[in-house]
Amino acid sequence: MKAKQKMMPCLWFDMCAEEAVNHYISIFKDGEILDVITHAEGGLGRAGAVLSLSFKVNGQELLALNGGPMYQFNPAVSLFVNCGSQDEVDHLWDRLSADGGAPGQCGWLKDKYGVSWQIVPAHLANMMQDKDPARVGRVMKELFQMTKIDIATLNRAYDG
C-alpha cells in the first residue's frame, strides 16, 4: 500500500528508522507499515538496506528516514496526540517514555529515539478556552505541575 496523504512529517533517524517504526506501530492499535524503500545496487547505501518507511499511526501517515547522525530531534517539533481517556494517556505515555525515554512537563515526553510527543486529553483545549478565567487559571496551575497528565485532577480543578 502506498502513502495517500499529500503531505506528511518526515522523521530523520540515525540508522534506526525500521526499529523506531516497528516500535511505534506496536504501540498504536491501528499502526501499520505502508511502504518500504530500500537502497538500490550502486546507490549511496548498502544495496537492500532500508532507506525509508512510510507508516501510519492514529490515522496519521509519517515517513521515517535512515538519514544518519547529521541531524538530531529536538522539542521544537513534536507529535501531538489527542487522547480520549486516561487509559489512553497512560498507555501511550508509559510505552513511549519507556526504555530510555524521558518525561517532560505538561504531557510532553521524549521517546528512546529522541522524538518529542505531547500526550494530551482531547478535552483540554475546551478547558483552556473556557470564558471563565478562574477555571482556566485553576487548570493551568494543575497542568504546570504535571508530567503525565491526570485527567481527573484537571477535571477537579476545572470544576473548582
46 pLDDT more than 80: yes
Provide mean pLDDT across the span 29-50: 89
Label residue 31 left, alpha or beta by phi (over 0 means left) and psi (-120 to 50 means alpha).
beta
- In tens, the pLDDT along 116-134 reads 999 999 999 999 999 999 9
| Residue 44 pLDDT level (bands cut at 50, 70, 90) | confident
| Residue 3 pLDDT level (bands cut at 50, 70, 90) | low
d(CA 92, CA 95): 5
> What CATH architecture is 73-160?
Roll (3.10)
* Cβ–Cβ under 8 Å, residues 133 and 127: no
d(CA 21, CA 83): 20
Q: Percentage of residues in the chain with pLDDT exceeding 90?
A: 89
Q: What is the pTM of this model?
A: 0.93
CATH class of the domain comprising 1-69? alpha beta
At 99, list the grid cell. Answer: 526504555
| Residue 2 pLDDT level (bands cut at 50, 70, 90) | low
d(CA 83, CA 124): 10
β-strand partners of 116: 78, 110
| Residue 40 pLDDT level (bands cut at 50, 70, 90) | confident
Q: Domain boundaries in the chain?
A: 1-69, 73-160
d(CA 61, CA 6): 10
- In tens, the pLDDT along 86-120 reads 999 999 999 999 999 999 999 999 999 999 999 99
6 pLDDT more than 80: yes
DSSP 21-62: HHHHHHHSTT-EEEEEEEPPTTSSS-TTSEEEEEEEETTEEE
> If DSSP codes are grouped into helix, strand and coil, which group holds residue 117?
strand
Do the domains at 1-69 and 73-160 have one common CATH topology? Answer: no
β-strand partners of 3: none
What pLDDT does residue 47 have?
87
> If DSSP codes are grouped into helix, strand and coil, which group holds residue 101?
coil
144 pLDDT more than 90: yes
Q: Report the chain's mean pLDDT, rounded to a whole number.
A: 95
